[in-house]
Amino acid sequence: MFNDQILVMNRSWMPVAVTTVRRGMSLVFRNHARIVDHDSFDLFDWERWLAERSASKSPDEAPVAGYIHTVNLRIELPQVIILSRYNGVPNRSVPFSRRTLFRRDNHECQYCGGRPGVRNLSIDHVLPRSRGGGTDWLNCVVSCVRCNVRKGNRTPEEAGINLRRRPFRPSLMEGLGVGQDMPKAWERFLKV
Ligand SMILES: [Zn+2]
């Protein structure tokens, strides 16, 4: 559906930011970026986009989602742009914290899948701390209190319980603050 955000990629097609249509378009107007067709990967400057992706309309036409409306024109709303010069990669790693870990694991126990509420959830070190396990993205999971007690000072294998999903560093999308409601057009650029 309609969204008012644009995905910004660096010169090497690597997503680097999510910005407002307004700011994204201003980059295009100043020739700092070009619009990317998310199906063909074709690149457009503003003149060409305007020539090929707009249609005339009657002044009293109701606004259609996914378009920019001017008095006479309905212009397809760009969803992805690529910067002409910038080739850097901003640091967008997600800081490790209780809050961000809970969000990564969807407030779900990673052993039994239960969602007993934050107060009954804890952080479990997959390899126990006492045995050198780190407090980081790759060794910590959300666990309900019951599973945590059952696992005790053991690895999941030793305790005979399964991890539903291997712990991971939150993805690029999460680092960019892109949620579940991500526009379809962005998907193929974000699956890296
Ligand atoms: Zn559990």
Please tell me the distance between residue 125's alpha carbon and the centre of ligand 1 in angstroms.
14
Binned at pLDDT 50, 70 and 90, residue 189 comes out as confident
Write the pLDDT tens digit of every residue in 29-45: 999 999 999 999 999 99
pTM beyond cutoff 0.75: no
Question: Scanning the structure block, which residue is given the tokens 């890296």?
Answer: 192
Which residues have their alpha-adjacent CB atom under 5 A from ion ligand 1?
109, 111-112, 114, 144, 147
User: Taking the domain 98-159, which CATH number applies?
Assistant: 1.10.30.50
Q: How far is CA 137 from CA 41, 65, 95, 169, in A?
A: 34, 39, 9, 5
| CATH 1.10.30.50 domain locations along the chain | 98-159
Q: Residue 43 and residue 46: Cα distance in Å, rounded?
A: 10
Write the pLDDT tens digit of every residue in 11-30: 999 888 888 899 999 999 99
Please tell me the distance between residue 50's alpha carbon and the centre of ligand 1 in angstroms.
55
